[in-house]
Amino acid sequence: MKLNISPIALLCGAALLGGCASTADNASANNQPAVSALQLAQQTIIIDTHIDVPYRLHKDWEDVTQATQRGEFDYPRAQAGGLNAPFMSIYIPASYERSGGGYQLANQLIDSMEALVARAPDKFAMAYSTQDVIEQFGSAKVSLALGMENGTPIAGKLENLQHFYDRGIRYITLSHSESNHIADSSYDLRRRWNGLSPFGKELVVAMNNIGMMIDISHVSDDAFYQAVALSKVPVIASHSSLRSYTPGFERNMDDDMLKALAKNGGVVQINFGSSFVTQMANQYGALRKAAAKQAGVADDAAFELEFRKKNPYPFATLDTVLDHIDHVVKLVGIDYVGIGSDYDGVGDSLPVGLKDVASYPNLVDGLLKRGYSAVDIEKILSGNFLRVWREVEQYAAKHAAG
Ligand SMILES: [Zn+2]
């Protein structure tokens, strides 16, 4: 992208295609979900496979058993949105691979989720299995499942895989923003392993055997293909969107990968973040960095605030997220797509109409308007993911039985 045009002209010019914040805000104000959508959201199990509450609370604690001022998740909003089972992200920043301490941080974040349940047992319960999610559905409790984002805490030891399984972790995102001892990262141009490391290959087999889902969000394309080829069970992308809408962004999945994922029986859980779903938002960060460089200042929080004032962030809309779901359905069918919002993980970049965990009825409303049946919507909200999780559980049970 050329930078001799002012960023604002670039961003809001392209908004003629349907992305500018002010237009979209007006549209959403008039778009309350239909009663049928509200009902369906309440009557259907909703699993969102990536919500960054643990790290959010670690950095900036609030009481999420009550309505909160900040963030995108709390109990009242989860109830309003019909959310039943969020996967709480046990997120370990990539720097821990170098500094150490990932094992400790992971345990600390898991402790914090257990403490939440202990403090409000009428509102939250841990969920360690598909059965837990199903049994707790219909109660007033939000089931908290755990996924580990970044395999750094495994620290090259299979006994740590057992430890974190025992603590309730049910998926591991093999790497995060930098290549680690397990797998290369899509964001990291150093390709240490050209895919999975020798230990990473061992780990994939061990994860199958123990019943830990393999999450290929964040990894490089080579690591994805190697994981899919090695895994005896379907894999998940816990929070990824589609590269056809964000050309060149390896963090998202391209059509060939979607086909390979479907063949494997896996599921892509669509990330809602604007920078994951539109090219304009995807390139906003690069424009800001370039502007900071041009001005000779640091690209820090203060600069970001200033930059945003002059160049309104090009928020995506609910419709864009629906387009991603449609694309998967058209390409490979209804059985391979779900939702992994990345709430509490993508800052102020969420699409208009999908701002927090109270928003799932809007998504359901959009799906109904696009002609999806209640059966199809149930697959997207949880059915497809539960199918994969159940297959992973069954494979491990068979393995344990010898
Ligand atoms: Zn992530």
CA of 344 to the centre of ligand 1 (A): 11
* pLDDT score of 41: 98
Give the distance (Å) from ligand 1 centre to CA of residue 398: 31
CATH 3.20.20.140 assigned to domain 31-278+314-400? The reply is yes
From ligand 1's centre to the CA of 188, what distance in Å? 14
- Find the 187 Cα to ligand 1 centroid distance in Å: 11
CA of 304 to the centre of ligand 1 (A): 21
Tell me the Ramachandran region of residue 138: left when phi exceeds 0, alpha when psi lies from -120 to 50, beta otherwise: left
List per-residue pLDDT tens for the chain, 402 residues long.
Answer: 333 333 333 333 333 233 333 334 434 445 799 999 999 999 999 999 999 999 999 999 999 999 999 999 999 999 999 999 999 999 999 999 999 999 999 999 999 999 999 999 999 999 999 999 999 998 999 999 999 999 999 999 999 999 999 999 999 999 999 999 999 999 999 999 999 999 999 999 999 999 999 999 999 999 999 999 999 999 999 999 999 999 999 999 999 999 999 999 999 999 999 999 999 999 999 999 999 999 999 999 999 999 999 999 999 999 999 999 999 999 999 999 999 999 999 989 999 999 999 999 999 999 999 999 999 999 999 999 999 999 999 999 999 998
Ligand 1 center from residue 30 Cα (angstroms) = 32
> Separation of 107 CA from ligand 1 center, angstroms?
19
- How far does the centroid of ligand 1 lie from the alpha carbon of residue 388, in Å? 20
Ligand 1 centroid to Cα of residue 287, in Å, is 21
In whole angstroms, give the CA distance from residue 344 to residue 346.
Answer: 6
Distance 237 CA to ligand 1 centre (A): 10
Domain boundaries, the chain: 31-278+314-400
Instruction: Report CA(216)–ligand 1 centroid distance (Å).
Output: 11
Contact 393, 129 (CB under 8 A): yes
Q: What is the pLDDT of residue 402?
A: 84
Kindly give the distance from the C-alpha atom of residue 330 to the centroid of ligand 1, in angstroms, as a whole number: 26
